[in-house]
């Protein structure tokens, strides 16, 4: 019997999300440039193989607070917005530099909840993605934290990446973070927690396994990843949650190796992205 993971090899359009903690040194919180270079090389290789690739990258606020000499992630909205303004420019400068070394073009797309909820700006965003991918460009997506507030933001890039995957009708969503995948319990607290290799149905029992964020620089946790899986699955997109400690894991995932937790898509014929967005 053919393994379900084998279908990953045939994925044509792929969205990869990278969290803030996956781009930084845990000791200092500063960018790990060597890891960024490996990430870019992996994505460039996928692009060269004929795949459509979209990167959803966190890190703007984190890079901004580091650049401005702050001790930790700011809590005030205005401070987060200011840090995002500084950090997003620096982050894109680095991505542009790395991608150009591999002969690739990348672009920046900053989304807001408003631009996703309303039909015309959402369609405009979808058309922009389609044209960029047709031209062989790798779009780099983040929420527009410079203008987003608690009332109008999507809030986390796990959810945002699933929205993007649905918007562009991606075949595969890969969430890379500081966790190996889904466990029956928190493995940091329960040594008997068992790893879940594959999820064929997002039952209530599975959804209850969501935990809060354990990262000092990120905003997501297992709960947001499972919500992302729910959205991706309903839109017909497979998903993998895997550890970003070594970005070479991307090529292993694409070879259908047993890395991370694989969530099998179960497309819902009644699914509509606009209805999901309205409920955010």
| pLDDT exceeds cutoff 70 at 279 | no
pLDDT of residue 216: 39
Retrieve residue 130's tokens: 């389609």
Mean pLDDT of 254-270: 93
Match 């408003």 to its residue by tokens: 114
Helices (H), 49-156: 60-67, 77-101, 113-117, 119-134
Could you tell me the pLDDT band of residue 166, with boundaries at 50, 70 and 90?
A: very high
pLDDT of residue 149: 56
Could you give the count of Cα atoms lying within 13 Å of 23 in the half-sphere of its Cβ? 22
pLDDT of residue 217: 39
Rounded Cα distance between 280 and 155, Å, is 10
Could you tell me the pLDDT band of residue 212, with boundaries at 50, 70 and 90?
A: very low
Sign of the CA dihedral 109, 115, 120, 126? Answer: positive
pLDDT of residue 76: 85
User: Do the beta carbons of residue 43 and residue 200 sit within 8 Å?
Assistant: no
Rounded Cα distance between 229 and 248, Å, is 22
pLDDT of residue 171: 97
pLDDT of residue 156: 84
Could you tell me the pLDDT band of residue 62, with boundaries at 50, 70 and 90?
A: confident
User: Do the beta carbons of residue 251 and residue 53 sit within 8 Å?
Assistant: no
Percent of the chain at pLDDT > 70 equals: 92
pLDDT of residue 211: 57
pLDDT of residue 66: 85
Q: How far is CA 99 from the centre of its chain?
A: 18
Q: In this predicted model, what pLDDT tens digit does every residue of 64-111 receive, in sequence order?
A: 888 888 877 788 888 888 988 999 999 999 999 999 999 999 999 999
Could you give the count of Cα atoms lying within 13 Å of 255 in the half-sphere of its Cβ? 7
pLDDT of residue 277: 77
Retrieve residue 181's tokens: 């995948």
pLDDT of residue 204: 86
Q: Which domains does the chain have, with CATH numbers?
A: 8-278 (3.40.1160.10)
Could you tell me the pLDDT band of residue 4, with boundaries at 50, 70 and 90?
A: confident
Strands 52-57 and 138-143: parallel
Rounded Cα distance between 142 and 121, Å, is 16
Rounded-to-10 torsion of CA 279, 20, 169, 167: 40
pLDDT of residue 25: 86
Mean pLDDT of the chain: 88
Nearest alpha-carbon partner for 23 in 46, 52, 55: 55
Q: In this predicted model, what pLDDT tens digit does every residue of 22-61 receive, in sequence order?
A: 998 888 878 999 999 999 999 999 999 999 999 999 888 8
């Amino acid at each position: 019997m053919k393994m379900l993971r084998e279908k990953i090899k045939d994925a044509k359009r792929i969205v990869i999300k990278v969290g803030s903690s996956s781009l930084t040194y845990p000791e200092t919180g500063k960018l790990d440039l060597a890891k960024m270079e490996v990430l870019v090389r992996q994505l460039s290789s996928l692009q060269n193989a004929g795949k459509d690739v979209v990167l959803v990258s966190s890190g703007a606020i984190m890079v901004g607070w580091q650049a401005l000499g702050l001790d930790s992630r700011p809590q005030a909205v205005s401070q987060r917005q200011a840090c995002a303004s500084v950090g997003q420019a620096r982050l894109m400068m680095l991505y542009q530099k790395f991608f150009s070394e591999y002969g690739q073009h990348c672009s920046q797309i900053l989304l807001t909840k408003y631009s996703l909820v309303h039909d015309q700006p959402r369609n405009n965003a979808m058309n922009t993605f389609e044209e960029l991918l047709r031209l062989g460009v790798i779009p780099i997506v983040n929420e527009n934290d410079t203008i987003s507030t608690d009332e109008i933001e999507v809030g986390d890039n796990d959810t945002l990446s699933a929205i993007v995957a649905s918007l562009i009708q991606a075949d595969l969503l890969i969430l890379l973070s500081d966790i190996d995948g889904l466990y029956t319990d928190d493995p940091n607290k329960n040594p008997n927690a068992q790893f879940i290799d594959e999820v064929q149905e997002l039952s209530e029992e599975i959804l209850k396994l969501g935990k809060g964020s354990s990262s000092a620089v990120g905003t997501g946790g297992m709960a947001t990843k499972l919500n992302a899986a729910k959205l991706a699955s309903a839109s017909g997109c497979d998903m993998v949650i895997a550890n970003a400690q070594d970005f070479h894991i991307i090529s292993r995932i694409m070879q259908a190796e047993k890395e991370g937790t694989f969530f099998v898509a179960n497309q819902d014929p009644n699914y509509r992205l606009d209805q999901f967005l309205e409920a955010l």
